[in-house]
A = this chain, B = another copy of it.
Amino acid sequence: MIYTYLGPAGTFTEAALLQVPGARDAQRVPAANVNAALELVRTGKADAAMVPIENSVEGGVSATLDAIATGEALQIRAEALVSITFVLAVRQEIDSLEQIRSISTHGHAWAQCRGWAEANIPDAEFIPASSTAAGALALLDSETNHDAAICSPLVAEERGLKILREGIEDHEGAVTRFVLVSRPGAIPAPTGVDKSTVILPLAEDRPGALMEILEQFAVRGVNLSRIESRPTGAGLGKYFFSVDVDGHLAQERVADALAGLHRVCPDLRFLGSYPAAEGLSSSVDAHNSDSAFSAAHAWVTGLKEHLEH
């Protein structure tokens, strides 16, 4: 197996990938950005890509949401959660916060530590980096202009950076959710606690279109655990929705909801069913169970046997 991931090495994304059984010993290829990672998968140069899809503080990761929603079909095979905590790494000659005049990190990390930075190093200039690891490793480079970097504990430890502060994130307990994406293939059998992801372009721009979609879920008791609107690029007000639901294609209520959605939203895209990382099982009413669907199907099939032609 060849894995790719949103690099460089030492980011949270690599930490997510290392959760995948076997990934530690497999080939791991960092990619420059989400699109590059997915392109390696689409062209067969990698078997699967680990990319971030949602952060509990920053929200959906647009690049991923858009990249898996369009273009050549892909499939989500697994998800992984990584707790996000940041350290403040500094150049060797820096010993106190007062000395810091500039600080570099990725925009997302900056967003998650901005409160701390504004309170503790209010005069430091923010210098955007292409990744948290890039900003941190640049501290080892004598030509670097910035004094400090915000990065993951992993990269700081692995590269022996000088750490001035730990846990500087504004929201304790932040979590990022990552998805492992491959070319379409077999859908893993249900584990009992599964999720499914589906992309729903709004077929028509009219009142109630979103509610019509939600009703297809509601009428079968399918719970949404995530919904994100994204522009289609065709103009303001033209959206598609990226939705996670509790349940698996192998469960009739999910399959039946997908069939209903296909009617009102024929360009939908099914991105797969896969084990849920959270391990929570949502309860299913008896009338939405597989046996209720089977009984209903059998009953209607029985009725249809009496149809004259």
What is the interface of chain A, defined by CB distance below 8 A to chain B? 35, 54-60, 62-63, 81, 107, 111, 114, 126-130, 171, 173-175, 177, 184-189, 203, 207-208, 210-211, 214-216, 218-231, 233-239, 249-250, 255, 258-260, 262-264, 266, 270, 278, 282, 287-288, 292-293, 295-297, 299-300, 303-304, 306-309
Contacts and interface: CB of A to CB of B under 8 A. Distances in A.
Given A59-B62, A62-B59, A186 B296 contact: no
11 contacts: A56-B235, A59-B229, A62-B111, A173-B235, A210-B214, A211-B218, A219-B260, A226-B229, A255-B303, A255-B304, A258-B296
A188 B309 CA distance: 8
Contacts of A185: 306
A111 B221 CA distance: 38
Contacts of A225: 237
Nearest to A175: B236
A81, A127, A233: most-surrounded residue (chain B CB, <10 A): A233
A185 B235 CA distance: 32
Contact of A177 (B207, B216, B228, B236): B236
A228 B241 CA distance: 10
B211 A207 contact: no
Nearest to A188: B308
Give me the 10 closest cross-chain CB pairs, A-B, nearest first: A262-B296, A128-B128, A207-B223, A259-B296, A263-B287, A263-B292, A189-B308, A187-B306, A56-B236, A259-B300
B63 A111 contact: yes
Choose among A238, A295, A296 the residue with the greatest number of B CB atoms under 10 Å from its CB.
Answer: A296
Nearest to A278: B236
Q: Which of A173, A255, A262, A308 has the most CB of B within 10 A?
A: A262
Contacts of A262: 292, 295-296, 299-300
A165 B248 CA distance: 49
